Amino acid sequence: TGKSTIRITGKRYLKIPKLGYVKTSKTGVLQDVKIKRYTVLLEPTGKYYLSLQVEISEPEKYSLTGKRVGIDVGVADLAILSNGLKYPSFNISYFEKKAKIWQKKYSRRRHLVKLLVLQDRNKKVLCPRSLESFTNWQKAQKSKAKYQAKAANQRRDYLHKLTTHLVKQYDVIAIEDLKTKNL
Predicted confidence (pLDDT) per residue in 64-97, tens digit? 888 999 998 877 888 889 998 999 988 888 999 9
Paired sense of beta strands 20-23 and 13-16, if any? antiparallel
DSSP label of 181: G
3-state secondary structure of 67: coil
Which element (helix H / strand E) includes 96?
A: helix 93-122
Q: Residue 183: which pLDDT band, with cuts at 50, 70 and 90?
A: low
Does residue 57 contact residue 51 with C-beta atoms inside 8 Å? no
User: For residue 3, what pLDDT is reported?
Assistant: 83
- For residue 124, the model assigns a pLDDT of 87
Query: Is 4 a residue whose pLDDT tops 80?
Result: no
The pLDDT assigned to 73 comes to: 82
Per DSSP, the chain holds a count of helices (H) and strands (E) of 2, 9
Cα separation, 121 vs 123, in Å, equals: 6
Question: What integer pLDDT is reported at residue 1 of this predicted model?
Answer: 84
Which of 51, 46, 10 shows the shortest CA–CA distance to 31? 10
pLDDT-derived band at 158 (thresholds 50, 70, 90) equals very high
Cα separation, 8 vs 50, in Å, equals 14
Per-residue burial over 112-150, b if 16 or more Cβ lie within 10 Å, else e, is ebeeebeebeeeeeeeeeeeeebeebeebbebbbbbbbb
Q: What is the DSSP letter of 59?
A: -
The set of residues, in sequence order, having a beta carbon less than 8 Å from that of 80 and lying 6+ positions away, is 71, 72, 74, 86, 87
For the cut 80, the answer to whether the pLDDT of residue 169 exceeds it is yes
Give the pLDDT mean for 121-147. 89
CB distance 69 to 79 below 8 Å: no
pLDDT in tens, 93-104: 899 999 999 999
Q: What is the pLDDT of residues 23-39, one digit of tens each?
A: 888 788 888 888 888 88
Average of per-residue pLDDT values in the chain: 87
Over 90: is that where the pLDDT of 52 sits? no
Query: At 130, is the pLDDT very low, low, confident or very high (cuts 50, 70, 90)?
Result: confident
